[in-house]
Structures are given as structure tokens and as C-alpha cells.
């Protein structure tokens, strides 16, 4: 009975007779060895930034006052702005509701709208401890540019819901009377205009 040739010797003879096949075989061996040295690939986790409200450093085109924060970019984010008008000064008033805002400290925000959407600016949530007034306008110092205003949407706290077209808007959170001031939360959302 004839012995079967050693596998290694047979491989060497095959490579000697067929150089191209040998080169291909050696390339496959090197490639497989390379794969064996690699660590398993895992998809890197994407860092999720923590949204924050952006402070504004100076006056803007349609407002001589410095807005407290820029809300642009944080619409529909899981973030609620926590504010306190008692830490501010009185800068705005609005005769839409008599003498709304006269003598009451207020907070000013700016927001840039890039596409038409139905916006909600809401203070609703916690139990109101003071009577708020809210105004949304295109020029912060001119109440004639009011887009929407609200006094008591939820208890004595305010909420504005309106469709906004592209542009820059100013939101004023104020007290209805001179003694109305205090802590509040502000949530901003945008979506399709509701169908009547």
C-alpha cells in the first residue's frame, strides 16, 4: 500500500508547478492572518449634546435691549427653560391688556424661524404663583408689531400658539401688574398648523 504524500510537500510541489496559483494562495493566507489580528468592529456611540439655552451678548437689529437667551435651535428639544422675572428689570409694557407689564420686571427672548410652522410658547405646567403676560413681536420695543399676546391660558400663566413664517421674533415674559413676578418655566415646540 502506497503512502499518501505529506500535505505540506504536495502544497510546495503545486506552488512550484503553478506560480500564479501559488501567489494567489499565499495572498489569501496573508489576508486571513491579517483578519485574525483585527479586533471585532463595533459601531461607535454617537455623543448626544445636552441642549442649553444660548445667552445673547448684545442688542440685535430690531431690539435695543439685550435678549436674555436665543431659543433658536432648541425648539422641540426635551428642555424647559427655568426663569425668574424677579431677577430682571422692567423694560416692556403693552396696552393690549390695559397697562400690562407696567412696573413689572420681564424676561426677553429671541428666536429665528427658518420655515413656516405652528409654534407654541408655553408657561403651563407648575401651579402659577403670579399673574403673567406674554407677548410675541417682530420689534421688541414696539407693541404695534405684536404677532400674538396672552394673559391667562393656563390658570394665571400664559401660552401663545400661532403660525410663524420665516423671520426673527421676540418673546417677552412679563407680569400683568407691577407686583406680578417670580419663577416660571418656558417650553417651545413647533409643528404643522392644526387643521380646523
Mean pLDDT of each 10-residue bin along the chain, 196 residues long: 54 57 58 53 43 62 83 82 90 76 86 93 88 92 92 92 94 88 92 83
Domain span at residue 136?
A: 54-191
Plot region of 27 (φ>0 → left; ψ -120 to 50 → alpha; else → beta): alpha
pLDDT at 160: 97
- For residues 136 and 187, membership in a common domain is answered with yes
| Alpha carbon distances (Å) from 196 to 87, 161, 193 | 40, 14, 9
User: What span, in angstroms and rounded, lies between the C-alpha atoms of 175 and 161?
Assistant: 19
What is the CATH number for 171?
2.60.120.380
* Residue 74 falls inside a structural domain: yes
- The β-bridge partners of 137 are 146, 170
* Residue 18 falls inside a structural domain: yes
pLDDT at 72: 86
- For residues 12 and 109, membership in a common domain is answered with no
Contact call for residues 79 and 71 (beta carbons, < 8 A):
no
pLDDT at 60: 74
pTM for the full model?
A: 0.69
* Residue 129 falls inside a structural domain: yes
| Alpha carbon distances (Å) from 108 to 13, 90, 92, 137 | 86, 11, 9, 11
Cell of 70: 436665543
* Residue 102 falls inside a structural domain: yes
pLDDT at 12: 55
- For residues 88 and 162, membership in a common domain is answered with yes
Burial degree of 138 (CB within 10 A; 0-12, 13-18, 19+): middle
- For residues 101 and 166, membership in a common domain is answered with yes
User: What span, in angstroms and rounded, lies between the C-alpha atoms of 36 and 38?
Assistant: 6
pLDDT at 81: 87
- For residues 91 and 117, membership in a common domain is answered with yes
Amino acid at each position: 500500500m502506497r503512502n499518501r504524500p505529506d500535505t505540506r510537500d504536495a502544497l510546495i510541489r503545486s506552488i512550484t508547478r503553478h506560480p500564479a496559483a501559488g501567489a494567489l494562495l499565499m495572498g489569501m493566507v496573508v489576508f486571513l492572518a491579517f483578519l485574525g489580528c483585527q479586533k471585532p468592529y463595533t459601531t461607535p456611540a454617537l455623543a448626544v449634546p445636552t441642549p442649553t439655552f444660548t445667552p445673547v451678548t448684545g442688542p440685535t437689529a430690531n431690539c435695543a435691549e439685550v435678549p436674555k437667551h436665543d431659543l433658536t435651535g432648541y425648539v422641540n428639544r426635551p428642555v424647559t427653560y427655568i426663569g425668574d422675572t424677579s431677577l430682571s428689570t422692567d423694560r416692556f409694557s403693552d396696552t393690549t391688556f390695559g397697562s400690562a407689564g407696567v412696573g413689572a420686571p420681564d424676561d426677553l427672548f429671541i428666536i429665528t424661524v427658518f420655515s413656516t410652522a405652528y409654534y407654541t410658547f408655553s408657561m403651563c405646567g407648575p401651579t402659577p404663583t403670579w399673574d403673567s403676560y406674554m407677548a410675541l413681536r417682530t420689534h421688541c420695543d414696539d407693541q404695534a408689531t405684536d404677532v400674538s399676546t396672552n394673559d391667562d391660558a393656563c390658570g394665571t400663566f400664559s401660552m401663545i400658539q400661532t403660525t410663524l413664517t420665516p423671520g426673527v421674533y421676540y418673546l417677552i415674559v412679563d407680569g400683568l401688574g407691577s407686583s406680578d413676578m417670580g419663577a416660571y418655566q418656558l417650553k417651545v415646540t413647533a409643528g404643522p398648523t392644526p387643521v380646523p
